[in-house]
């Protein structure tokens, strides 16, 4: 269902009812597809850790096959972006683990949030390594900061369990510059590049303000047909926070539109345990900015490009909800690699208007409609 980007159990079932669809699937893949009510029964019972194990096993396999080697930070560590996203909202209590939020008018909303660790690359890959559901803390109103950080502690343990020797560089947003995260990274021997927002780590930022005049700088200019971009990189090493020492990194980006001369200015500030120099400052700041990939390529495509992350695949069972979530992550990994395979890339380049959406539509048409050779070939199961 998720690999075909079917968007709902109903859509998948409608196709499955077609005799030709069942025959074509059997011919192509060598197995019969179950009715989703049957798989749903299993997904309500199956401990979610089983599919999480499977996903981690698949991701490990890809890492061992050196799929992501060339995207490593400083030819050494894998960039792992951490972020939470909402996956379902209800106006009634959906299960015992629902998080709740009460509006000023006293209206209670029930919802589910999941914290993700995804391996991200500059080319837009976003591969789920581990997922941790942020679960209800009974009797307390939901506070993102508390709960997301607690889930991060559990998520970090999962990453370490599944990928014990993987060199990791954690990318996090403005919720993550704090001692809990710094200590976990130190203990696990992980690097980190974490967004520093105004108001984060006040004493650290005060020291930055004091020493900014002594910072080291590096400028990069880039031009395209329509824009001219100036990137001003700046860093300070050995900055103290709570008797620990980190580096401060900033990137000021000015994009000038050559045609209408409009400018767009953006600032990105990070704290990192990677000591900075003229050789690694650009890669450090650019890697820090890759955290956005988990939102764009990760959550956005899972919400809007056929996977329907926010669709309620199970309206009653929290266990099933977690299992559908894991299956979606696995399907997304398979499809991201398929979409970048030579065969698919060649097909896309063949026609200027061909898109991934068109290709998937054609694939579904191929599976749904009867083929002429079906009269000759009898489908058979492999031994």
* Cβ 276 vs Cβ 237: under 8 Å: yes
Q: 93 or 197, CB closer to Zn ion?
A: 93
| C-alpha dist (Å) from residue 225 to 258, 259, 331 | 8, 10, 37
Q: Where along the sequence are the contacts to Zn ion (CB under 5 A)?
A: 94-95, 98
Please give the Cα distance from 220 to 47 (Å, whole number): 50
Q: 220 or 319, CB closer to Zn ion?
A: 319
Q: How near is the Cβ of 239 to Zn ion at its closest, in Å?
A: 43
- Contacts of 37 by beta carbon, 8 Å cutoff, 6+ apart: none
Task: Give DSSP secondary structure letters for 280-327.
Answer: THHHHHHHHHTTHHIIIIIIIHHHHSSS-TTS-S-SS-HHHHHHHHHH
Element (H, E) at 206: helix 202-211
Q: 1 or 321, CB closer to Zn ion?
A: 321
CA 168 to chain centre: 15
Helices (H) and strands (E) in the chain — how many of each?
13, 10
Q: 315 or 361, CB closer to Zn ion?
A: 315
Of 289, 224, 229, 288, nearest to 255 by C-alpha is: 229
Q: How near is the Cβ of 48 to Zn ion at its closest, in Å?
A: 13
Q: How near is the Cβ of 95 to Zn ion at its closest, in Å?
A: 3
For 76, list phi and psi in degrees, rounded to 5.
Answer: -135, -60
Give buried/exposed letters for 66-84 (b at 16+ CB in 10 A, else e): ebbeebebeeebbbbbbbb
Q: How near is the Cβ of 94 to Zn ion at its closest, in Å?
A: 3
Q: 95 or 333, CB closer to Zn ion?
A: 95
Q: 112 or 118, CB closer to Zn ion?
A: 112
Q: 316 or 357, CB closer to Zn ion?
A: 316
- Provide the 3-class DSSP secondary structure of residue 83: strand
Q: How near is the Cβ of 185 to Zn ion at its closest, in Å?
A: 31
Q: How near is the Cβ of 111 to Zn ion at its closest, in Å?
A: 8
């Amino acid at each position: 269902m998720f690999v075909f980007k079917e968007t709902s159990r109903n859509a998948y079932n409608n196709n499955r009812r077609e005799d030709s669809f069942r025959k074509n699937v059997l011919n192509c893949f060598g197995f019969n597809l179950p009715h989703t009510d049957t798989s749903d029964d299993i997904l309500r019972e199956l401990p979610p850790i089983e599919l999480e194990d499977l996903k981690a096993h698949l991701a490990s396999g890809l890492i061992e096959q050196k799929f992501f080697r060339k995207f490593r930070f400083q030819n050494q560590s894998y960039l792992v972006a951490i972020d939470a996203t909402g996956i379902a909202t209800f106006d009634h209590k959906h299960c015992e683990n629902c998080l709740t939020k009460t509006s000023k008018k006293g209206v209670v909303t029930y919802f589910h949030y999941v914290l993700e660790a995804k391996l991200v690359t500059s080319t837009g890959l976003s591969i789920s390594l581990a997922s941790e559901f942020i679960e209800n803390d009974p009797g307390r109103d939901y506070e993102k900061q508390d709960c997301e950080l607690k889930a991060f502690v559990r998520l970090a343990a999962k990453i370490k369990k599944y990928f014990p020797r993987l060199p990791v560089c954690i990318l996090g947003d403005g919720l993550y510059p704090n001692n809990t995260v710094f200590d976990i990274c130190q203990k696990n021997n992980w690097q980190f590049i974490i967004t520093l927002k105004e108001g984060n780590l006040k004493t650290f930022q005060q020291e930055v303000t004091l020493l900014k005049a002594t910072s080291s700088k590096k400028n990069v200019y880039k031009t395209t047909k329509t824009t001219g971009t100036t990137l001003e990189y700046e860093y300070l090493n050995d900055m103290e926070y709570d008797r620990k020492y980190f580096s401060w990194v900033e990137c000021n980006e000015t994009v000038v539109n050559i045609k209408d001369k409009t400018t767009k200015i953006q600032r990105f500030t990070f704290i990192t345990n990677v000591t900075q120099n003229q050789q690694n400052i650009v890669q450090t700041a650019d890697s820090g900015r890759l955290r956005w990939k988990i939102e764009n390529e990760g959550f956005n495509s899972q919400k809007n490009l056929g996977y329907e992350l926010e669709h309620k695949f199970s309206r009653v069972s929290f266990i099933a909800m977690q299992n559908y979530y894991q299956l979606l992550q696995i399907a997304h990994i398979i499809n991201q690699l398929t979409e970048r395979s030579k065969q698919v890339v060649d097909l896309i380049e063949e026609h200027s208007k061909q898109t991934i959406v068109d290709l998937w539509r054609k694939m579904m048409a191929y599976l749904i409609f009867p083929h002429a050779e079906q009269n000759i070939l009898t489908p058979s199961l492999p031994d």
